[in-house]
Amino acid sequence: MTHPGEITRRQLLRRIGLTAFVAGPGAGLLSACATGGAGDEPTATPTGTIAVSADPKNPFGVDAKKPLEVTIFSGGYGDAYAKDLHEEMYKKRFPGVTVKHNATQEIGTQLRSRFVSGDVPDVVNNSGPAALDLAAMATEGQLADLTALFDAPSLDDPAKKVRDTVTPAVLDNAKIDGKDLVLNYTVSHRALWYNAKLFADKGWTLPKTWAEFKALGETAKQEGILLFAYPGQKGPYYQLWNALYTAAKIGGNQVIIDIDNLVDNAWNAEAMKQSVTAWVEIQTLYGDKAYFGLDHTQTQVKQLQNKLLFYPVGSWIENEMAKDKPKDFEYAIAPIPDVTAADKMPYGAIQVGVGENFFVSAKGKNSQGGLEYLRIMLSKEGAKGFTEKTLNLTVVNGAAEGLDLTPGLKSAAKAQDTAGQNIITDARFEGWYKELFDYGTQQINVVMAGRITPEKFCQNMQKKADAIKKDSSVSKQTRGQ
């Protein structure tokens, strides 16, 4: 059965270049890096839109002497992929150019004042708990239009436009107020992550029902292991995602689509209440409130020490913890167990989405260079190198072919293959209405700590959503099925 917002397994695997390593290693990657050079100067419009010139080697008319400034969120992916790969590729295209590299885990904190003053970086990897509000940035005219990027010839095959080399989800998620303003670069698998070696050693099997989930919790408790935990500091949104995806499993993707579209009473949907109730029960019976005082790294170290079984996160975790991971720990992905006997999505449904957004500053000193930098990222060489350095997949079609993938990525690929058409959609209100998402990360801690009921959590979220819906100063976004 196909649910709203879902595509077929074959379509999804082909679009993000997974077919080769699910079925077996491919013949290897194409590698092409065109040389830069002066071309026809494209026309810039007052809105920040840049037209594509006739020169496929320099479609944006980049001035080879202009410096480029790049700011990267140094979180789970680190920043080596930018500093040692993409920026070096840019320098190769424009010999002698200066690229200024900044890395931080506090994107908004560091950049807000710069955007106010007008001294802005050209390319920004906007991610992490302190990310900038993209909808507000768009309203302020800070985001360059990426239409020229998507219409430009790809580095690998000038006969193909960039838009034809990436998963269509990139184009769907690029839009704010109907304009292409954001590039989501990675494909992530968000579900419950666990240590496959521990399960094999214990002879445990993955729970498929909520009853089996709780039974495993009892077993683990006898050995001093928590069934589940999430970080209460710098990471409560992991559990907010988890609650949303569980609600979609129970009630179908329409639950999340309605929340994104600010549909009346969307947060009060029965599936949402059931999801939060189920997870509050797990926290009460098999969790530890001490984790509310830990950040994501501290919590993830606890998991590496086998002090907790399941952790709700995305596939970037394997790279984030690579230096700390002991040899007897093997990351693997587990679908959310069936919460009810009538869940609309069957066991095995997982969330697969695009993320890790980048934008080019419309008011930067080198917007043309910023677009070229993103075009380099979207080449197979740039995408393959990113996967090799970060252990995470990109949105570039076929870029994973021929790679020797880690156990975690192989597990995610297998889980996606098993899920077939049952792919849980991503929640877009995170980028559309940051105030609502930030409020949700606060409220999820409150309800999981037992300070409010699941019903009150849903009521509070609905009240906040209603306020945003009525606020004429907030630009409204909509998504289809």
Looking at the structure, do residues 96 and 125 belong to the same domain, yes or no? Answer: yes
Q: What is the pTM of this model?
A: 0.79
Indicate if the pLDDT at residue 17 is higher than 70.
no
Residue 30 confidence (pLDDT) = 23
Give the count of domains, the chain: 2
In a domain, 11, yes or no: no
In a domain, 312, yes or no: yes
Segment among 16-25, 253-262, 445-454 with least mean pLDDT: 16-25
In CATH, what number is assigned to the domain containing residue 236? 3.40.190.10
Indicate if the pLDDT at residue 34 is higher than 90.
no
In a domain, 461, yes or no: yes
Q: Residue 33: phi, psi to the nearest 5? A: -140, 100
In a domain, 481, yes or no: no
Residue 24 confidence (pLDDT) = 33
Looking at the structure, do residues 372 and 321 belong to the same domain, yes or no? Answer: no
In a domain, 2, yes or no: no
In a domain, 13, yes or no: no
Looking at the structure, do residues 269 and 281 belong to the same domain, yes or no? Answer: yes
Looking at the structure, do residues 176 and 209 belong to the same domain, yes or no? Answer: no
- Distance (Å, rounded) from C-alpha 33 to C-alpha 21? 24
Looking at the structure, do residues 344 and 451 belong to the same domain, yes or no? Answer: yes
Segment 245-263 shows an average pLDDT of 98
Indicate if the pLDDT at residue 117 is higher than 80.
yes
Looking at the structure, do residues 378 and 438 belong to the same domain, yes or no? Answer: no
Looking at the structure, do residues 236 and 279 belong to the same domain, yes or no? Answer: yes
| Both structure tokens of 282 | 């797990």
3-state secondary structure the chain: CCCCCCCCHHHHHHHCCCHHHHHCCCCCCCCCCCCCCCCCCCCECCCCCECCCCCCCCCCCCCCCCCEEEEEECCCCCCHHHHHHHHHHHHHHCCCCCEEEEEECCHHHHHHHHHHHCCCCCEEEECCCCCCCHHHHHHCCCECCCHHHHHCECCCCCCCEHHHCECHHHHHHCEECCEECCEEEEEEEEEEEEEHHHHHHHCCCCCCEHHHHHHHHHHHHHCCCEEECCCCCCCHHHHHHHHHHHHHHHHCCHHHHHHHCCCCCCCCCHHHHHHHHHHHHHHHHHCCHHHHHCCHHHHHHHHHCCCEEEEEECCCHHHHCCCCCCCCCCEEEECCCECCCCCCCCCCCEEEEEEEEEEEECCCCCHHHHHHHHHHHCCHHHHHHHHHHHCCEECECCCCCCCCCCHHHHHHHHHHHHHCCCEECCCCHHHHCHHHHHHHHHHHHHHHCCCCCHHHHHHHHHHHHHHHHHCCCCCCCCCCC
- Distance (Å, rounded) from C-alpha 407 to C-alpha 394? 17
Looking at the structure, do residues 86 and 229 belong to the same domain, yes or no? Answer: no
Q: In which domain, by residue range, is 231 found? A: 188-353+423-470
Looking at the structure, do residues 69 and 201 belong to the same domain, yes or no? Answer: no
In a domain, 234, yes or no: yes
Residue 54 confidence (pLDDT) = 66
Looking at the structure, do residues 302 and 167 belong to the same domain, yes or no? Answer: no
Tokens 């909509």 -> residue: 478
In a domain, 411, yes or no: no
Looking at the structure, do residues 279 and 301 belong to the same domain, yes or no? Answer: yes
Percentage, residues of the chain above pLDDT 90: 80
Looking at the structure, do residues 242 and 273 belong to the same domain, yes or no? Answer: yes
